[in-house]
Structure 1
Amino acid sequence: MIEIRGLTKRYGDRTAVDDLTLTVHPGRVTGFLGPNGAGKSTTMRVVVGLDRPTAGTVRVDGRRYADLPVPLRAVGALLEARSAHPGRTARDHLRVLASTAGLPRSRVDTVLELCGLTPVADRRVGGFSLGMGQRLGVATALLGDPATVVLDEPVNGLDPDGVLWIRTLTRQLAAEGRTVLVSSHLMSEMAVTADHLVVLGRGRLVADEPTATVLRRAGTRSVRVRSPRPDDLVGVLAGDGVSLASPERGLLEVQGLGADEIGDRALRAGIPVHELTPVSASLEEAFMDLTRDDREYRTDLRQEALT
């Protein structure tokens, strides 16, 4: 369990994390989200003792990271994939770390196999691709078989097979009762991986809720309606506050009316409907709503600029 209480971290006159309080519970994957500059990486660095808090406390299973007798056995972290010496092989990099923590050499072979690195274990890390470096970073995080795993952007540079592997791995770790904290900008992946979401904006807590709750509160964005008489259906649905789009023949995307109202209008007009599907907001849309006022960097893309 990770317990953060009143955490504040300042760099000069800039506040990276502002009075943050939250608990990351074991047995579930917690997604750690926020725009660039929101304070996610800083918070993770404080958790593993790389930065000292300006104020507040951070505990892992009731202890400060610095007080853990063998930190590698308690907390595994991937914060920077390119942290291995480029002249060492992947196997030697892990062996050195295992030796410092009193871990058996067999553990090195275990994590190499788990992370798909056995075929390249004796290659120098300097020749690794970004994806292979990420896998080595995960192997390093898991070397001590820790109860708490902290992964900062673990899918960065991975191919689709690697992304699926990370998803399966993190969910397996959580199912084993471990505490799993994963940051990512890939919202579609977080939507199917994270059980719980913590969202930061400008260093402050914006949301700390189950993923399903965040999506449910974001609501329904539109209704997909399929009919053999789309033109007639447009006539009975059009009106103030209603937006209609037709991405393909026979299909309408309707905003401003609920599925019940659309079905009732079609029935009264005698228009057959073959599909009537509410389309919920995506996690990306929910995230943008949550952090609308907390994004440090904004891009204003105007249609006329693209034509």
Structure 2
Amino acid sequence: MIEFEDVSKRYGERWAVQDLTLTVRPGRVTGFLGPNGSGKSTSMRMVVGLDAPTSGRVLVRGRRYAEHAAPLTEVGALLEARGAHPGRTARAHLLALAVTHGLGRRRVDEVLAEVGLTEVGGRRTGAFSLGMSQRLGIAAALLGDPAVLLLDEPVNGLDPDGVVWVRGLLRRLAAEGRTVFVSSHLMGELAATAEHVVVIGRGRLVADTSVAQLVDSVAPATVRVRTADPDRLRDLLARPGATLRTPAPDELVVEGLPAAEVGEVARRHGIGLRELVEERPSLEDAFLALTRDAVEFDAGPVTR
């Protein structure tokens, strides 16, 4: 578990994080979202003591990171893909970390195999692609078999196979009861991976909820129906809380009713349907709506 207790961080006159209180719980993948400059990276750095809060505190499993006797066995972090010395081999990089916690070569070989780098373990990391560096960073995060995983943009530079692999890895780690906190600008990927999401903007908490609830809070699902008798179906569905539109002669758009209920009403009254589709806003739609007023770097409208 990661706990932010009324945390603020200031650099000079600028507040990077303000009054942040949240709990990242074990057993699920929690996505961390925010526009550029929102304070995500600063928040993650404070978890592992790379930045100190100006006020408040951040606890990992009930203690500050520096208070853990063997921090690599408590928190595994990937905050910078190219964090290894370019002159060291992948295996040497992991061994240097391992000896600080009394971990042996066997564990280094295990994590190299888990991330698919066994074949290149003897190669200097300066020759690694971004995707290979990401895999090495994940190996380092897994090295101490920690209960908490903190990953900043872990799929950057990965090919589609690597993205799917990371998705499965994060889900498996969460299913094992670990705390998995992951940031990404790839909304579609987070929507497919995370169950819960934390959104910040200008250093302040904007949302702390499930992905489904976040999406539904911004815009409800819409049911689009194509039928030969849209007017009759519209009359049957009319009720308080339902919004009904007929944008085309054979089409009915329903808001406020689930697709299952629309389909059941049509079946019960013998109305044939050519199409029944539930359209939901995306996580990206919800994110943009929530953070519209919290964007620090706005390029403005595109001109042609």
Query: So what's the TM-score if we normalise by structure 2?
Result: 0.87
Q: Helix, strand or coil for the counterpart of 2:295?
A: coil
Counterpart residue number, 2:114: 114
Counterpart residue number, 2:17: 17
The question of whether the paired residues in 1 share the 8 Å contact of 2:3 and 2:24 is answered with yes
**Counterpart of 1:103 in structure 2: which amino acid?**
L
Aligned-residue identity in percent: 61
The question of whether the paired residues in 1 share the 8 Å contact of 2:220 and 2:255 is answered with no
Q: CA deviation at 1:175?
A: 0.8
**Counterpart of 2:161 in structure 1: which amino acid?**
D
The question of whether the paired residues in 2 share the 8 Å contact of 1:148 and 1:178 is answered with yes
The question of whether the paired residues in 2 share the 8 Å contact of 1:245 and 1:254 is answered with no
Q: Distance in 2 between matches of 1:53 and 1:90?
A: 33
Counterpart residue number, 1:182: 182
Deviations, residues 76-124 of structure 1 (Å, cap 9, x unaligned): 1000010101111111110111011211211101100110111111111
Q: Aligned residues, how many?
A: 294
Residues 218 and 105 of structure 1: CA distance in aligned 2, closer, same or farther (over 3 Å): same
Q: CA deviation at 1:220?
A: 3.1
Q: Distance in 2 between matches of 1:262 and 1:105?
A: 60
Q: Helix, strand or coil for the counterpart of 2:36?
A: coil
Q: Distance in 2 between matches of 1:173 and 1:64?
A: 22
Counterpart residue number, 1:94: 94
Counterpart residue number, 1:70: 70
Counterpart residue number, 1:130: 130
**Counterpart of 2:202 in structure 1: which amino acid?**
R
Q: Helix, strand or coil for the counterpart of 1:220?
A: coil
Which segments of 5 or more consecutive residues in structure 2 lack a partner in the other structure? 235-243
The question of whether the paired residues in 2 share the 8 Å contact of 1:244 and 1:255 is answered with no
Q: Distance in 2 between matches of 1:283 and 1:115?
A: 28
**Counterpart of 1:110 in structure 2: which amino acid?**
E
Q: Distance in 1 between matches of 2:115 and 2:226?
A: 45
Query: So what's the TM-score if we normalise by structure 1?
Result: 0.86
Deviations, residues 114-157 of structure 1 (Å, cap 9, x unaligned): 10111111111011101000000000111111111100000111
Counterpart residue number, 1:283: 283
Counterpart residue number, 2:33: 33
**Counterpart of 1:64 in structure 2: which amino acid?**
R
**Counterpart of 2:122 in structure 1: which amino acid?**
D
Q: Helix, strand or coil for the counterpart of 2:82?
A: helix
Counterpart residue number, 1:139: 139
**Counterpart of 1:89 in structure 2: which amino acid?**
T
Which segments of 5 or more consecutive residues in structure 1 lack a partner in the other structure? none
Q: CA deviation at 1:190?
A: 0.9
The question of whether the paired residues in 1 share the 8 Å contact of 2:224 and 2:254 is answered with no
Describe how 1:1-307 pairs up with structure 2 within 5 A. Answer: 1-220=1-220, 222-226=222-226, 244=247, 254=253, 273-301=273-301, 305-306=303-304
Q: Distance in 2 between matches of 1:196 and 1:103?
A: 33
